Amino acid sequence: MSDNRRVRGLVRKEFLQILRDPSSIAIAFLMPVFLLLLFGYGLSLDAEHVPLAVVVEKPSAETARFTGMLQQSRYFSPKDFASMRDAELALRTHEVDGIVHLRASFAADLKAQRESGIQVIVNGVDANTARMVQGYLGSVWALWLEQRLQATGQAPVVSIDHRIWYNTAVSSRNYLVPGLIAVIMTLIGALLTALVMAREWERGTMEALMVTPVSMREVLLGKLIPYFVLGMGGMVLSVAMALWLFHVPLRGSAVVLFASAAIFLLAALGMGLAISITARNQFVAGLAAIITTFLPAFMLSGFIFDIASAPVAVQAVTYLVAARYFIAIIQTIFLAGNIWPVILPNAAALLAMAGVFLGIVVARSRKRLD
Among 64, 82, 314, 363, binds another protein (CB under 8 A): 314
Report 60-119 residues binding another protein (CB under 8 A).
91-93, 100, 109-119
Which sign, positive or negative, has the C-alpha torsion 127, 128, 134, 137? negative
Please state the closest distance from residue 341 (CB atom) to another protein, in A.
4
Nearest to 275 by CA among 219, 357, 220: 357
Among 89, 256, 262, 310, binds another protein (CB under 8 A): 310
Among 35, 182, 235, 358, binds another protein (CB under 8 A): 35
Report 330-359 residues binding another protein (CB under 8 A).
331-332, 335-337, 339, 341-342
Please state the closest distance from residue 82 (CB atom) to another protein, in A.
20
Please state the closest distance from residue 280 (CB atom) to another protein, in A.
12
Give the integer Cα–Cα distance in Å for 58 and 105: 8
Please state the closest distance from residue 60 (CB atom) to another protein, in A.
15
Q: What are phi and psi of 181, to 5 degrees?
A: -55, -45
Among 287, 351, 356, 362, binds another protein (CB under 8 A): 287
Could you tell me if 334 and 239 are in contact, meaning their C-beta atoms sit under 8 angstroms apart? no
Please state the closest distance from residue 201 (CB atom) to another protein, in A.
11
Report 158-177 residues binding another protein (CB under 8 A).
158-168, 170-172, 174-176
Give the integer Cα–Cα distance in Å for 53 and 256: 49
Report 109-148 residues binding another protein (CB under 8 A).
109-132, 134-135, 137-138, 141, 145
Binding segment for another protein among 224-232, 260-268, 278-286, 347-355 (CB under 8 A)? Answer: 278-286
Among 74, 151, 244, 309, binds another protein (CB under 8 A): 309
Residues making up the chain, counted from first to last: 370
Closer by beta carbon to another protein, 344 or else 355? 344
Please state the closest distance from residue 267 (CB atom) to another protein, in A.
20
Report 199-258 residues binding another protein (CB under 8 A).
203-205, 207-215
Could you tell me if 180 and 303 are in contact, meaning their C-beta atoms sit under 8 angstroms apart? yes
Please state the closest distance from residue 289 (CB atom) to another protein, in A.
9
Burial class (CB in 10 A: 0-12, 13-18, 19+), 38: exposed
Q: Is 172 helix (H, G, I), strand (E, B) or coil?
A: coil
Q: Count residues near another protein (CB under 8 A).
A: 135
Closer by beta carbon to another protein, 66 or else 266? 66
Q: Is 257 helix (H, G, I), strand (E, B) or coil?
A: helix
- Could you tell me where the DSSP H helices lie in 211-339? 216-244, 254-278, 282-299, 312-318, 322-331
Label residues 165-199 b or e (16+ Cβ within 10 Å = b): eebeeebebbbbbbbbbbbbbbbbbbbbbbbbbbe
